[in-house]
A and B are shown apart, each in its own frame.
Chain A
């Protein structure tokens, strides 16, 4: 049972364009949603994260939006650069016994063409 669904599986954008990645989840106890960026041959690196008490968090060219009612989140990358080409994972964790246990989406492979 996949608890975190991520789309699209892959995406190609032109340099300077805006990238939008989306995730949906099922478990209403999830309250922490990080996005990870992974380059080939490396481990995932935390890119940006948001708590369920917020609906938007911005960090430079990266913004994540959270919609609690629809159980959806998204990652927007403005002015996309070739160096942003990587695999992006959304993840989620909840409070209580599940705190710290991340459930990951399957990832989106992003290619930014110059």
Chain B
């Protein structure tokens, strides 16, 4: 079964600070994704990657950067965190195949004070 882990699981940050959320997958999937989940909005795609060295903007990329240094790792970076970025963040991995099934990590709860 797919294995996607995220760290940290919980994070409290201050406004204007830098936050890095990390994701690791052991499925050897090419594609990785970052979503945020807010009540009333479901999951929204922030950034995604088709492989090491690539990052693409999703539907709500403003205020976020992403980094894919290797097949296994995908990071989400908030250079200047704001309270509006308080949310639960999910990482997912998926393989290019008909259907593009995605496997999600357990999530990181981020609070920006």
Contacts and interface: CB of A to CB of B under 8 A. Distances in A.
Interface of A: 6, 32, 34, 36, 41-46, 49, 51, 89, 91, 93, 99-107
Q: Interface size bucket, B side?
A: 20 to 34
Given A49-B99, A100-B102, A106-B40, 14 more contacts: A34-B101, A34-B102, A41-B107, A42-B106, A42-B107, A43-B104, A43-B106, A51-B99, A89-B42, A100-B48, A102-B33, A102-B43, A103-B45, A104-B35
**Interface of A (DSSP majority class):** strand
Contacts of B98: 32, 51
Given A32-B99, A89-B42, A101 B48 contact: yes
A46 B58 contact: no
Contacts of A106: 40-42
B74 interface: no
30 contacts: A6-B42, A32-B98, A32-B99, A34-B99, A36-B104, A41-B106, A42-B107, A43-B4, A43-B92, A43-B107, A46-B101, A46-B102, A46-B103, A89-B42, A89-B43, A93-B100, A99-B96, A100-B31, A100-B33, A100-B48, A100-B102, A101-B45, A101-B48, A102-B33, A103-B45, A103-B59, A104-B42, A104-B44, A106-B41, A107-B42
